[in-house]
Amino acid sequence: MPRFSRLLPLPTLLFAACGPHRTPGTAAAPAAAVAARCSSGPSIASRADEPTTGAEAAAVFDSAWSIIQRTHWDTTYNGVNWRQVRTDLRPKAEAARTRGALRAVLSEMVGRLNQSHFALIPQEIADAAPSTSAANRSGGSLGFDVRWLDREMVVSRVDTGGPAWQAGVRTGWVLEAVGPCPLASRLASLPAHTDARMTSLDAYRATMQALAGAEGDTAQLQFRDGRDARRTLAIVQGTPPGTITKYGNLPAMAAQLSWSRVREDGRTIGIIHFNIWMPILSAQFDAAMDSLRSSDAIVLDVRGNFGGVGGMSIGIAGHFLDSAIAIGTMHARANTTNFLANPRRVNTRQQRVTPFAGPLAIVVDELSVSTTEIFAGGLKAIGRATIVGSQSAGQALPATPERLANGDILYHAVADFISPNGKPVEGEGVIPDRVTPLDRRSLVNGRDPALAAAIRWAAQQAPRRPIP
């Protein structure tokens, strides 16, 4: 059974935003209808209303409960009386008469554990074809990313040449409404958290849910620009950047990696950014390292990287470690696995090389999750990397998906992960050595404080090369 650590941006995968705002020319709807559409709800072909019998629902519930009973690494179940959970919720499952009602019960069940990496993925989402063709109208991209800053959703990145860029959107703008739906009202309905990182994660997920659409759909978006002037733009969803990939029975996703060089204080700094830990990016990362191997220092920008295949972390770590050092340990119920770095001895042309030994900075934020935290936390703990940015999510439980009898996927954690310093990554996450959060004013002025700080640190650490 494959095991990997990953946090899915589940609301983005499970639900999409209200449909009519994505189609130009839609007539204004009555206020009640607008409110209903703005609450949330699936726009893809949902199977939530399909009927089920009490016996079928109870069988699916029993199966899901037993999977966790059998695989949870902590026999105290995080302090939850797991047998009592079954007693409490099985009658509700038997009473369910639709898939949607049963899903609500199962979601409540895994929610009782109050841990990351437990979720239910509907069959129609998990089995969606990994295609970006216009004919199939798979998920599109508006070409910008956002972050929750000072209680507003601020544009943190715009793909140069993408739909948002072509429409004039720039970093630092505030996203205020999607179609007829004010974003503030959607975000105000989110649960309250004492941990600001959870608030940020929830806000991001809700916003991505609102922005979801298929290629060719048009989103009517209202922004406040860098001078606080309101602008309403119609932006057509484009092809997602990167490569669409699918792993096992998880939903299709877009994997993207890019690299570049910058000069800082006379040094050359290589920068690699990637958004997810998927095997399809391994060869691209190797190629990036081949291109950047002569750099004086490397910066890895993994902000907003939600995780992926946990085993990839030891391969990527091997580009920066010359021995098989453990970057952490995974503790399952029946076994313990050391994550030993795999030093890279050859390049993509099968020529002998040594792992990169220069300064390494890793940029993280509150949306750096799961395998990203395992990797960054491990390299920090053994002193190989300096971490820059803001504290990561603290959601790093290795997990696996299993299909239930009704076709839905139960995504559930099967292990805890301990950093080389003996601390669990779950909860605290990775605390930067240099705390450099984003702020709207810097973004409006075209600056990225966290990336700039990482580049500056890397240049300061790199030895100046002798003048020939």
Kindly give the confidence (pLDDT) of every residue in the chain, 468 residues in length, as a single tens digit, with 9 standing for 90 and above: 333 333 333 332 332 223 222 222 223 333 444 444 565 444 456 788 999 999 999 999 999 999 999 999 999 999 999 999 999 999 999 999 999 999 999 999 999 998 988 989 888 877 765 544 444 446 789 999 999 999 999 999 999 989 999 999 999 999 999 999 999 988 888 877 778 898 999 999 899 989 988 889 999 999 999 999 999 999 999 998 888 888 776 778 889 999 999 999 999 999 999 999 999 999 999 999 999 999 999 999 999 999 999 899 999 999 999 999 999 999 999 899 999 999 999 999 999 999 999 999 999 999 999 999 999 999 999 999 999 999 999 998 988 889 999 999 999 999 999 999 999 999 999 999 999 999 999 999 999 999 999 999 999 998 866 565
Q: Is 378 helix (H, G, I), strand (E, B) or coil?
A: helix
What is the C-alpha separation between 379 and 402, in angstroms, rounded? 31
pLDDT at residue 399, as a whole number: 87
Q: Which residues pair with 257 in a beta bridge?
A: 274
Beta strands in 113-266 (DSSP E): 119-121, 144-149, 152-158, 174-178, 181-182, 218-224, 230-236, 243-245, 253-255, 257-264
Q: Is 216 helix (H, G, I), strand (E, B) or coil?
A: coil
Give the tens place of pLDDT for each residue, 251-277. 788 899 999 999 999 999 999 999 999
pLDDT at residue 192, as a whole number: 78
CA nearest to 324, candidates 258, 378, 391: 378
Helix intervals (H) in 96-155:
99-111, 123-126
H or E stretch at 6:
strand 5-6
54-71 vs 82-95: helix crossing angle, rounded to 10: 160
